Structure 1
């Protein structure tokens, strides 16, 4: 199955399901068999795989209940697991559809639904886009929920904002939306959402990631299948012996992993003619003193997130180094908690797809990049990788704005004709232009004769064109004014069709209706 040519849906209400949604059951069964092959060919990883599923579900149950969220009790500990995930954010509907669809399919297949929050991602502030009407024109503005910090932090290190802060921001936007009749549907959606928020709901949130999870769950609760789905942040996913065993296996074989990882990135860039070396991800680096970069981040008590390097000491023992190499650690330090590790993007999906889950649902970007992950799995673990799915959708604003592109194309063409061949757009009542056009046609016919002075005739044609253009000046001005107005309308239409508006401006039932 190829994901390279998939694109984000462009039309309003358009969805993307790859493979078809009805085939997810078959894909799930195929993946279960492929995971068995992993355990057959990698005996050392059998305990890791068995423990990974068990501890992940146990931690997810505890975390979800700890936030006070309704959740599905797994049919059984060995039940299939369907999951999706994302960095903490106020999602747009194109991301939310993955979650709602995951929950729906899990119920159909008697599987456990799980959402992974990548709270190990760098925090650069939290904001969202909202529409606004100014001078009767539809536009868009950016609203800040939390500003970027003065120092580098990851989401798991950012404290939860107060309920009052969240409520104040959302109420301000509701007031602004309510001023415009054209945005009343979105004001209504936000109003309904605000009524379901309360201080008690957010009392369990300790981090910003917790808060964003709760905000999302309040919104999608009306369309949750059964009792909802399980939640687990990456920070807790990593805090298990099974994840440490997974990481240690890579540390022990870092030379092979290093070469496979960088090699597959190089092939990806070459195939797609990507020149920027950090696209889609930077290569793992090698330091002059023999340290090889791992596909993990290191976090110590006095750092936020830094690259993690590994090498063997003189006795062949694995040692780790964060940052510039001035600090060293061992795998024992990870187990004790003095050094925390977090997976980079590809490493996270390797762990999830091979050791924890039976089916992972990506968005468009992740689905494309995970073709690299497939190759790494094939070469490093020497198995056929489990398949994955991709779901996306586009939902803009519910406002009656027509796409003016066809009219823009017609007007642009008419302006060009009016300036180059005025007679072709002049009305039949323009006798002054008709007379000049007749003279021009005679000169054009004359140009076909060999004895014609082409230079002189050409100048005469040019002069006639200029005279007609002068006569058409008022019409050209009118056309350009019309074009300018249409271009403003195009800006409004693009604003209306933007897909990055927050989920709470949309009725969850409307999104649910897009899922087959």
Structure 2
């Protein structure tokens, strides 16, 4: 085996260390790894694995889970009925999570799987609202039909005047009139395609929710969850911001912050390895490396995988930590700061950090740390989407090296639900045929003899030339080959000059087919927000996939 072959085989072996996930392409298809039917076995395996962790982990899990369920019940009860199994404190916890946005229907399928698994396995099903992620904006992009050309196009509909750039838990609604009539605006835009989108039912709950909290992230999540209650889903829900105020989270966070230089070395080396294996050149994917700064005369600053912000300063900034002989200093190095004394008991330090996590200083984990806590401490089985499943394999490698424990396995779940109508792939064969014909006009014009009055002399000469191709005869000279090429090209040009009208018609038909394909691609995108679909269509599709 040569050197290049060895390198290629080694690269394939490294890539095989990571599982590969891809979203289903066709309407009404789902993806689950492992399968939904195997979830019970995976849950039992995880429970066995988690029970083998040492007593300190067991104590942390017990404390965190009891607090989680109590907080989730209280939070959910504020806006919808709560149904729980009798032995909830001893029951396993199955968890999923996502940002509080109007995500696509494939993501919403995960909530239905969560509910189904909770009921099937007598587990407490909890959805974690990732409200510390930065909101991308205050609008959605929905399909409609352009009245001028009859093609499917996107149109943006806003539920607030502006938004984005700050965490979801900080996105205060500034234009209530626009928010209150968002459902009407969406319904009007999609009316040519969908006459009864579920956004109307959803927004009845959203208007009630925004009265309670005034924050877009809260309102969107509570509205969706209330609608799920109407459908019959029996899950609990809790924002990450609520979870982060617990002493259990503070205890977990201190485990990492107290040994941050080692954590940072592991975090960065595993991230670099992930990039190398997957051929990723961007330094920001899948996550940026954590930085360090020794420029402070009083000590060395280490970037931690946390965000710091507040109600008064809602922009997220990286959290930095400096350790002195007497305290840990957490700071965004832009004015927000808290200090945790080390001259006291571990319990006192935990309480001090938990008490510091207020509206004046919000300490929030970044993505990998969020799912580490959710999977190692809070839950027994976690459901990821496609992206989360890819990146959390990196989190597993970090957690295994730093904490010295085997992380429980997770599931990856997604689905594809499309709007009714023709598929863009239906045009692929015709587009390929048109491209071939356009090429034939130039290189095989004789195939269009019915479209023009060709000189039979040229047709006969080309047949003769093609019957005596010089490339297969070793006695032909290079000059002869060049002359053969020139003569064939000259005949083709003469014949093709009589097919300009044919070429123009073909080009026009190809442009129309490509434009139509792009139009249908808009219609059949799997990324449309779930709120534009008819609710019966989605629920029936999800039930069929679960069955």
What's the TM-score once normalised by structure 1's chain length? 0.90
Query: How far apart are residue 394 of structure 1 and its match?
Result: 1.5
Q: SS of the counterpart of 2:52?
A: helix
Show the counterpart of 1:362: 384
Once residues 200 and 182 of structure 2 are traced to their aligned partners in structure 1, the CA distance between those partners, rounded to angstroms, is 15
3-state SS in 1 of match to 2:408: coil
Task: Give the Cα–Cα distance (whole angstroms) in 1 for the partners of residues 228 and 123 of structure 2.
Answer: 19
1:8 matches 2:23? yes
Whether 2:84 is the aligned partner of 1:78: answer no
Deviates more, 1:216-225 or 1:390-399: 216-225
Aligned pair partner of 1:139 in 145, 153, 176: 153
Partners in 2 of 1:426 and 1:248 — Cα distance?
77
Q: For the residues of structure 2 that align with 1:54 and 1:279, how far apart are their CA atoms?
A: 35
Match status 1:407 vs 2:433 = no
CA deviations 1:162-208 (Å, max 9, x no partner) are 77533412212322333x2xx1xx22234763685585465433422
Per the alignment, in what secondary structure is the counterpart of residue 531 of structure 2?
A: helix
Q: Label 1:428 to 1:159 Cα distance change in 2 as closer, same or farther (>3 A).
A: closer
* 1:244 and 1:335 in contact (8 A); partners too: no
The one of 178, 183, 197 aligned to 1:165: 178
Aligned to 2:10: none
SS of the residue aligned with 2:125?
strand
Distance 1:207 1:137 in 2: 36
The 2-side partners of 1:12 and 1:392 are apart by 12
Change (3 A) 1:437 1:323: farther
1 or 2 for the larger relative contact order (CA 8 Å, sep ≥6)? 1
Candidates 423, 437, 445, aligned match of 1:422: 445
Query: What are structure 1's unaligned runs of at least 5 residues?
Result: none
Contact preservation (8 Å) 2:163, 2:171: no
Query: Which residue is 2:508 aligned to?
Result: 481
Q: Choose the corresponding residue for 1:386, options 398, 402, 408.
A: 408
Distance, in Å, in 1 between the alignment partners of 2:132 and 2:275 is 26
Q: Tell me which of 370, 373, 376 is aligned to 1:348.
A: 370
TM-score, normalised relative to structure 2: 0.85
Matched, 1:510 2:516: no
For 1:99 and 1:191, the matched residues in 2 are separated by: 17
Matched, 1:465 2:465: no
Query: Matches of residues 52-451 of structure 1 in structure 2 within 5 Å?
Result: 52-66=64-78, 68-75=79-86, 76-134=88-146, 135-149=149-163, 153-160=166-173, 164-178=177-191, 180=192, 183=193, 186-190=194-198, 193=201, 197=205, 199-200=207-208, 202-225=210-233, 228-288=234-294, 289=296, 290-300=300-310, 302-304=312-314, 305-315=316-326, 317-324=327-334, 327=337, 329-330=339-340, 332=352, 334-336=354-356, 337=358, 339-401=361-423, 403-423=426-446, 425-427=447-449, 432=454, 435-445=457-467, 448=470, 450=476
Cα distance, 1:395 vs. partner?
1.7
Of the three residues 515, 519, 524, the one matched with 1:492 is 519
Query: How far has the Cα of 1:21 moved from its partner?
Result: 0.6
1:130-153 CA-to-partner distances (Å, cap 9, x unmatched) read: 111112111112222224449x53
Aligned CA-pair RMSD: 2.6
Match of residue 344 from structure 2: none
Give 4+ residue runs of structure 1 displaced > 6 Å after superposition. Answer: none
Range with bigger deviation, 189-198 or 28-37: 189-198
Instruction: Give the Å deviation of 1:500.
Output: 1.7
Looking at structure 2, the residues matched to 113 and 434 of structure 1 have their Cα atoms a distance apart, in angstroms, of 79
Change (3 A) 1:242 1:455: closer
Check 1:446–1:341 CA distance in 2 against 1; reply closer, same or farther (3 A cut).
closer
The worse-fitting range, judged by mean Cα deviation, of 189-198 and 241-250 is 189-198
Q: Does the residue aligned with 1:481 lie in a helix, a strand or coil? A: helix
1: CA distance, partners of 2:174 / 2:418? 28
Deviates more, 1:294-303 or 1:101-110: 294-303
Does structure 2 conserve the Cα–Cα contact (< 8 Å) formed by 1:360 and 1:389?
Answer: yes
- CA separation of 1:441/1:299 partners in 2, compared to 1, >3 Å: closer, same or farther? same
In structure 2, list runs of 5 or more residues that go unmatched. 1-15, 341-348
Question: Do 1:300 and 1:339's aligned partners in 2 also have CA atoms closer than 8 Å?
Answer: yes
Contact preservation (8 Å) 1:15, 1:393 = yes
Q: Secondary structure at the match of 2:196?
A: helix
**Shift in alpha-carbon separation, 1:218–1:287, aligned structure 2, 3 A:** same
Cα pair distance change 1:198/1:6, threshold 3 Å:
closer
- The 5 A counterparts of 1:27-46 are 27-38=42-53, 40=54, 43-46=55-58
Cα distance change, pair 379–214 in 1 and its aligned pair in 2 (3 A): same
